[in-house]
Amino acid sequence: MRTYLKWLLATAAVALAAVSLLVGAVGILTTMWIAVGQRTHEIGLLRALGGATAGLALGFLVVSAATGLFSGVAPARRAAQLDPLEALRAE
């Protein structure tokens, strides 16, 4: 009985930790997604002036490294693939 209780508590702790990590990752993803949205004009200008998509993605990944690398991948891809003309017209 004690072994089962220990296993049950350990499983519950692991599940709680997994959910906490997932919630944190979603929070970081949302923060980076908003950052890309707010910098649309700047991204479009950089792309219009010849900024490479890899350079822009790397820049956003470096920024997101402080808040979590894996959650910054999707916003970095979004920023790198942004059409410069569309971004410049956004404002």
pLDDT of residue 16: 93
Asked if residue 67 lies in contact with residue 26, where contact means CB atoms within 8 angstroms, the answer is no
pLDDT in tens, 28-78: 788 878 888 888 888 888 888 888 888 888 887 777 776 665 666 777 777
Report the largest interatomic distance among the alpha carbons of the chain, rounded to a whole angstrom: 69
pTM confidence score: 0.53
Per-residue pLDDT band for 12 (boundaries 50, 70, 90) equals very high
